Amino acid sequence: MAEQQKKPKVGIVGSGSWATALSKILLNNVDSINWWVREEDVAQNLHIYGRNPLYLSSVGFNRESLNIYTDISKLIAESDHIIFVIPAAFMKKQLSRIAPNAFKGKKVHSAIKGIIPETNQIIAEFFISKYGMSSQDISVISGPSHAEEIALEKLTYLTVSSMNPLLSEEVAALLGCKFVKTTTSDDIYGTEYASVLKNIYAIAVGITKGLGYGDNFISVLVANALQEMERFIAAVHPIDRNLSGSVYLGDLIVTAYSQFSRNRTFGNMIGAGYSVKSAQLEMKMIAEGYYATRCIHEINKKYNVEMPIASAVYNILYESISPYIEIKIMEDRIR
């Protein structure tokens, strides 16, 4: 009898709700995972109780299936596949002491929906330029998905994108389970940029809700957001793609409309009168769209794509323009 294929060692970097949800998913297909968490108290709780005390604390883990690390370099060394699930704004700092050759022979997967703010790079570009990784060893894990529904085992669809079809199929197999269906794509740039942009548009939806706009207007806003997304992605990485797919349109819809959307919540607070700093202090989780708004604004200086919605969000968040005035101006630029 042929020897059974050895299961890969999978590492998770991050301790938020999405990292916790992915850990739950993976443990349907592997016996154990390596899991890096920043906070010592979270590490202790996972060791002792098998629960993340800060996020999705209702999810219980078999403690024997968890190898907990507080040193990223050790987790990387002990893992074949490393899934990054930390805010993009903190990536460069968290990896600042990682050796340039640390990812040699490793497969890296991004479940991050943001851009590295210091360099305006999507996650795949960051690993290629910073660590000399091949695009064949990188994948992107995208929704539409909310961690809170995965915790409840609500049916969820995930897309794994990679320029290496064998890698995307392998990761899709690791993520598929009774409550998660998976598909694959080769559009790594499109899926990453779509996941970044939808956070900006969710902030726009939140702002308009906070200002008192209704569903009629928001439906127009979301339709225009998809058109804006299509124009920008086509300019940055022009290939044949259909943005009506779930990884693009589906992810936009769930982020714009869901009660679990932190970016929509952040925008709603801004529209209701909170200052940016006050809204950030009150929220317990990072709204990736805040950082993405400035990054996309900077990137678009090169492409000059017409982006009235993203521009309005930028003016509100970074130029201190009144949300009421800015959205009023935007009304006449969308149809």
Instruction: Point out which residues pair with 183 in neighbouring strands.
Output: 159
Whole-number pLDDT of residue 278? 92
- What is the set of active-site residues? 198
Given the structure tokens 């604390």, which residue do they identify?
A: 57
Structure tokens given for 313? 């969000």
Q: How many degrees, rounded to 5, is the angle at CA 256 between CA 251 and CA 258?
A: 90
Q: What is the per-residue pLDDT for 265?
A: 95
Q: Is 289 exposed, middle or buried (0-12, 13-18, 19+ CB in 10 A)?
A: buried
Amino acid at 238: P
Start-to-end CA distance of the chain, whole Å, equals 64
Q: Which residues contact 321 (CB under 8 A, 6 or more apart)?
A: 315
pLDDT of residue 2: 42
pLDDT for position 14: 95
Residue 4: predicted pLDDT = 52
Give the per-residue pLDDT at 5: 62
Record the pTM.
Answer: 0.94
Alpha carbon distances (Å) from 333 to 150, 193, 194, 205, 308: 37, 23, 21, 16, 7
What phi-psi label fits residue 31: left (phi over 0), alpha (psi between -120 and 50 degrees) or beta? alpha
pLDDT at 1: 38
* Inter-residue contact 196 to 124 (CB < 8 Å): no
pLDDT at 91: 92
pLDDT tens series, the chain, 335 aa: 344 567 889 999 999 999 999 999 999 999 999 999 999 999 999 999 999 999 999 999 999 999 999 999 999 999 999 999 999 989 999 999 999 899 999 999 999 988 999 999 999 999 999 999 999 999 999 999 999 999 999 999 999 999 999 999 999 999 999 999 999 999 999 999 999 999 999 999 999 999 999 999 999 999 999 999 999 999 999 999 999 999 999 999 999 999 889 999 999 999 999 999 999 888 877 889 999 999 999 999 999 999 999 999 999 999 999 999 999 999 999 99
Range 119-122 contact pairs with CB under 8 angstroms and sequence separation of 24 or more: 119/92, 120/295, 120/298, 120/299, 122/189, 122/192, 122/193, 122/196
In terms of DSSP bridges, do strands 180-185 and 138-142 run parallel, antiparallel, or are they unpaired? unpaired
